[in-house]
Amino acid sequence: AASGRTQIADHPLALAPVSAPASSVDGFVREFLKNLNFTQGVPLSASSPNDRYLALAHTVRDYLMARWLEDQRGQREAQSKGVAYLSAEYLLGRQLDNNLLASRLTDVATEALAKCGIDIDDLRQQEVEPGLGNGGLGRLAACFIDSLATMSVPSIGYGIRYEYGIFRQTFVDGQQVEQPDAWLSLGSPWEFPHPEAAQTISFAGHTETYDDDGVERSRWIPAWNVQAVPYNYMVPGYHNGRVNTLRLWRSVATNAFDLRIFNSGDYEEAVRAQIFAENISKVLYPEDSTPQGKELRLQQQYFFVAASIRDFLTNVLAEDFDLEKLPERIIFQLNDTHPVIAVPEFMRVLVDEKKMDWDAAWAITQQCFAYTCHTLLPEALEVWSVDLLGRLLPRHLEIIYRINDEFLLAVRERFGDDEMRIRNMSIVSDFPERSVRMAYLATVAGAKVNGVAELHSQLLRDKVLPDFNEFYPGKFTNVTNGVTPRRFIRLANPQLADLITEALGAGWTVDLERLRGLESFAEDPEFRARFAEVKAANKRTLNTVLLARDGLSVPDGHMLDVMVKRLHEYKRQMLKVLHIVTSYEGIISGRVDVKDVTPRTFIFGAKAAPGYVMAKRIIHLINAVGSVVNADPRVEGRLNVVFPPNYNVTLAERVIPAADLSEQISLAGKEASGTGNMKFALNGALTIGTDDGANVEIRELVGDDNFFLFGMTEPEVEALWAEGYRPSEFYQKDEDLRRAIDLIASGAFSGGDRTTFEPVVSNLLYDDRFMVLADYASYIAEQGKVDAAYGDQDAWTRSAILNVARSGYFSSDRSMRDYIQRIWHTPPAY
Ligand code: B1N
């Protein structure tokens, strides 16, 4: 087979480049009909919307193909240093529109389809977004690969092709019910499976030592294995002709595995084996920030990193590559701790398989990995029990022990026998059970460790890993997150994009700091009027979308106050609820004249992890408050709570451009960065927020006058904890707060039943880990300022424009430049 491939590679036709079809409307019509006929096997007359969508997707693929093949060849041949982004999640969002935009085909395709009597918008609606991520972390990975392609950085994304992505959320009587996300069921036109390139990935078994020509070596004798089949996705850069690759792995049963069982004549057992193997890439774990230590999750993690490392070593490097030079060719970026098992796997390959000396292998490994931490919550720091690791990956556990032994030896050399410090820094911890702290392993192995916003990186350095910072000076750094302006401005907000282009000319989409040029336009009344009209149009569009999607509506003339993000106590959706209940209580008690209430629509979007009981209760409460408030005639329609189910990337693209007010109200020190906050600012919403995560940097950039700050700072939070936080004292002291909580407790939102939301109320009064009550007064006061500011529409619009003008820093292109400069040191292009 190998010599056959060589012969073909030398054939003159093998080097002839494929060429893209003609970019004319007629050319596009031809390609589209060809795909409809030959790929879908239907004539236009008998085609379903899904047929047409798939044919359109295939047509767009065909236009991208020549560049993709060319870029894959170029990247292989250049042998320059590249980035392998290792992430268990990629929250991509819909592909069609993005790929049309990147390849400049939007207008041609629109016209071509119109010629066939098809409205391209109808086909856009057909696509089920690949929801292969939970929230910010997965969406960040998607933004990063977009920027890497747009900046022509040699890179590849590796991950898992989950058969089921993040669950589909529905509400039944206001309560969350999860449905499986069968995103592949109507076809998956964007992927290219390569079953012939499958890798065998092993698990379990035992280890042994053996004599290798006088050298004692270890080897792993695994007990079972699965096949990892690569599925390639195109990642087109924006208007630069570049197409990078995202490679997601799917697990299937190995032939050998089948055969052994087939030979035993046990057909049922063979089928079971198949199912067992396919389980590994079956479903995305729906926990955001609070991973459960499930065996299948560790299987997923090892499965995809082992396949990715082998893929790089065998398919990217030349066969005779000198492994000592690995750091000149690759940097594996670890997206949180989820792929950290790659570290011992890399060591195993170098030491056991390539027979490299341990110290040499370790020196290489420490240059080939870098680690991004995305959290500060202790419960989110992944830990694997030694028991589980030893069963599933016995050789890796041995390697981790040796890494730890040598690390602690070095610590002793530096700091002396400070047993407390040794215990605190050990990768292997003994309590509450013997386990491996993956963040510590990543920190020891990584060339660099970064947080995702200035404040987060500082807390990581000074509070979470101070001993490591002292031991490894210079290892810790910051790269503030960013978002792609292609998807989140150009695609999501085309009218704003056109207005910006008219003002500043083209070019800002790939050089977002140019938005600064809008500052002077903020002073131009005509520009302000047009900006305000775009916002109003986006609200009308959102209204249309929500009406069709969920039967919900956003009344004209309302301020749009938006809180969209995963449901988590630290994000404090409860604070938002208390604000709504306070406004409502003011009206129905008659203390506030309804005519004085600024009309507001509160939009929520939030999924709760299926096992997170308190989060689900809060969802129930939001829906319950909405039903009561929206239906109460005394409110005269001035308060309106809208909670569309199943918030996802597609809905974000509609909601964010319509928003006036962005709610970023986490307890200071808890939200590592946030990225929704950046998307809102870039779309001209003003932020009400705490001094947390990237909010700090947003406020510094847009200016205090254009940002509603409230709440305790992180040091104030620390101080209050130290002094002893008693939430009930805030309840006693603050009349408004008491009225709001009492109204919830009275059963006003649960048909008179006082038990339904009792756990939420007592959680606030007697526990309140995230200090909702401590920040309540400050939040309500600031919301008063929001109302006042909104009263002067022209001034508000000016602030909104300044938010856009001053947020160019939050492009993920800038994040990529920071990674390149501070961590990767890769060349700008191959
Ligand atoms: O990562 C985002 C940040 O902007 C957010 O502030 C941060 O909360 C988020 C385990 C996570 N941190 N940790 C996770 C996700 C899934 C999982 O299984 C943890 N997500 C974040 C991007 O930096």
Q: pLDDT tens digit string along 774-809?
A: 999 999 999 999 999 999 999 999 999 999 999 999
Q: How far is the CA of 139 from the centre of ligand 1 (A)?
A: 10
- So what's the pLDDT on residue 292? 80
The two structure tokens encoding residue 565: 């993000």
Q: Is 137 in the pocket of ligand 1 (CB under 6 A)?
A: yes
Q: How far is the CA of 289 from the centre of ligand 1 (A)?
A: 6
Annotated catalytic residue, options 490, 565, 576, 814: 565
- So what's the pLDDT on residue 4? 53
Q: How far is the CA of 462 from the centre of ligand 1 (A)?
A: 20
- So what's the pLDDT on residue 493? 98
Which residue's C-alpha comes closest to atom 1 of ligand 1? 137
- So what's the pLDDT on residue 2? 44
Candidates 87, 289, 670: which one to mutate for ligand 1, based on the most atoms within 8 Å of Cβ? 289
Q: Is 674 in the pocket of ligand 1 (CB under 6 A)?
A: yes
d(CA 451, CA 337): 12
pTM exceeding 0.95: yes
In a domain, 150, yes or no: yes
In a domain, 113, yes or no: no
Q: Is 375 in the pocket of ligand 1 (CB under 6 A)?
A: yes
Annotated catalytic residue, options 579, 679, 798, 806: 679
Annotated catalytic residue, options 242, 247, 395, 566: 566
Q: How far is the CA of 445 from the centre of ligand 1 (A)?
A: 21
442 lies in the same domain as 573 = no
Q: Is 644 in the pocket of ligand 1 (CB under 6 A)?
A: no
| Structural domain boundaries enclosing 231 | 79-94+129-480+818-824
Which residue's C-alpha comes closest to atom 15 of ligand 1? 288
**Is 374 designated active site?**
yes
Cβ atoms within 10 A of the Cβ of 157, count?
26
523 lies in the same domain as 458 = no
Annotated catalytic residue, options 94, 348, 535, 571: 571
597 lies in the same domain as 619 = yes
473 lies in the same domain as 502 = no
Sort strands 206-212 and 199-203 into parallel, antiparallel or unpaired: unpaired
- So what's the pLDDT on residue 261? 61
Backbone angles phi, psi at 609, to 5 degrees: -55, 135
In a domain, 154, yes or no: yes
Candidates 334, 338, 375, 665: which one to mutate for ligand 1, based on the most atoms within 8 Å of Cβ? 375
Q: Is 140 in the pocket of ligand 1 (CB under 6 A)?
A: yes
Candidates 374, 464, 484, 770: which one to mutate for ligand 1, based on the most atoms within 8 Å of Cβ? 374
Candidates 134, 137, 812: which one to mutate for ligand 1, based on the most atoms within 8 Å of Cβ? 137
Annotated catalytic residue, options 58, 61, 338, 374: 374
Instruction: Point out which residues pair with 200 in neighbouring strands.
Output: 227
**Is 679 designated active site?**
yes
ipTM: 0.98
- CA-372 nearest atom, ligand 1: 23
What lies within 8 Å, CB to CB, of 398 at 6+ separation is 207, 218
Q: Is 538 in the pocket of ligand 1 (CB under 6 A)?
A: no
> Which positions of the chain have pLDDT values less than 70?
1-6, 15-17, 256-263, 830
Q: Is 134 in the pocket of ligand 1 (CB under 6 A)?
A: yes
Q: How far is the CA of 379 from the centre of ligand 1 (A)?
A: 12
Burial letters 363-375, b for 16+ CB under 10 A, else e? ebbeebbbbbbbb
Q: How far is the CA of 290 from the centre of ligand 1 (A)?
A: 9
- So what's the pLDDT on residue 257? 57
499 lies in the same domain as 457 = no
Q: How far is the CA of 451 from the centre of ligand 1 (A)?
A: 11
The dihedral over CA atoms of 175, 286, 428, 421, expressed in degrees to the nearest 10, equals: -60
Q: How far is the CA of 335 from the centre of ligand 1 (A)?
A: 10
d(CA 725, CA 770): 10
Q: How far is the CA of 682 from the centre of ligand 1 (A)?
A: 21
Which residue's C-alpha comes closest to atom 14 of ligand 1? 289
| CB 131, CB 61: distance < 8 Å | no
Q: Is 87 in the pocket of ligand 1 (CB under 6 A)?
A: no
In a domain, 342, yes or no: yes
193 lies in the same domain as 268 = yes
In a domain, 32, yes or no: no
Q: Is 288 in the pocket of ligand 1 (CB under 6 A)?
A: yes
Q: How far is the CA of 56 from the centre of ligand 1 (A)?
A: 34
d(CA 672, CA 490): 27
**Is 607 designated active site?**
no
Length of the chain, in residues: 830
CATH number for the domain including 169? 3.40.50.2000
473 lies in the same domain as 538 = no
Q: Is 684 in the pocket of ligand 1 (CB under 6 A)?
A: no
Backbone angles phi, psi at 484, to 5 degrees: -80, 125
Q: How far is the CA of 651 from the centre of ligand 1 (A)?
A: 20
In a domain, 392, yes or no: yes
Strand ranges for 348-442 from DSSP E: 369-372, 383-385, 428-429, 435-437
Which strand ranges, in their side-by-side order, compose the sheet holding 383-385? 383-385, 435-437, 428-429
Q: Is 693 in the pocket of ligand 1 (CB under 6 A)?
A: yes
**Is 616 designated active site?**
no
Which residue's C-alpha comes closest to atom 5 of ligand 1? 674
| CB 164, CB 131: distance < 8 Å | no
Considering only CA atoms, which of 184, 189, 274 is closest in space to residue 226?
274
Q: Is 671 in the pocket of ligand 1 (CB under 6 A)?
A: yes
| CB 609, CB 548: distance < 8 Å | no
**Is 150 designated active site?**
no
**Interval 241-271: pLDDT, tens:** 999 999 999 999 987 655 566 567 777 877 7
Cβ atoms within 10 A of the Cβ of 322, count?
10
284 lies in the same domain as 406 = yes
- CA-671 nearest atom, ligand 1: 6
Helix and strand numbers (H, E) in the chain are: 35, 25
Which residue's C-alpha comes closest to atom 19 of ligand 1? 289
Q: What is the CA radius of gyration of the chain?
A: 28
273 lies in the same domain as 222 = yes
| Residue 25 DSSP SS3 | helix
Instruction: Point out which residues pair with 370 in neighbouring strands.
Output: 333
**Is 487 designated active site?**
no
Tokens 């935009």 belong to 101
643 lies in the same domain as 790 = yes
d(CA 190, CA 725): 52
- So what's the pLDDT on residue 100? 98
In a domain, 275, yes or no: yes
548 lies in the same domain as 450 = no
Q: Is 287 in the pocket of ligand 1 (CB under 6 A)?
A: yes
Which residue's C-alpha comes closest to atom 12 of ligand 1? 374
Q: How far is the CA of 671 from the centre of ligand 1 (A)?
A: 9
- So what's the pLDDT on residue 17? 66
- CA-452 nearest atom, ligand 1: 23
In a domain, 520, yes or no: yes
- So what's the pLDDT on residue 94? 98
- CA-694 nearest atom, ligand 1: 4
- So what's the pLDDT on residue 5? 58
**Interval 624-658: pLDDT, tens:** 999 999 999 999 999 999 999 999 999 999 999 99
The two structure tokens encoding residue 48: 């379903």
d(CA 336, CA 289): 11
Cα-based distances in Å from 407 to 422, 527, 557, 601: 10, 60, 62, 55
Q: How far is the CA of 135 from the centre of ligand 1 (A)?
A: 7
d(CA 157, CA 332): 10
563 lies in the same domain as 664 = yes
The two structure tokens encoding residue 17: 């480049």
Domain count for the chain: 2
Q: Is 675 in the pocket of ligand 1 (CB under 6 A)?
A: yes
- So what's the pLDDT on residue 78? 87
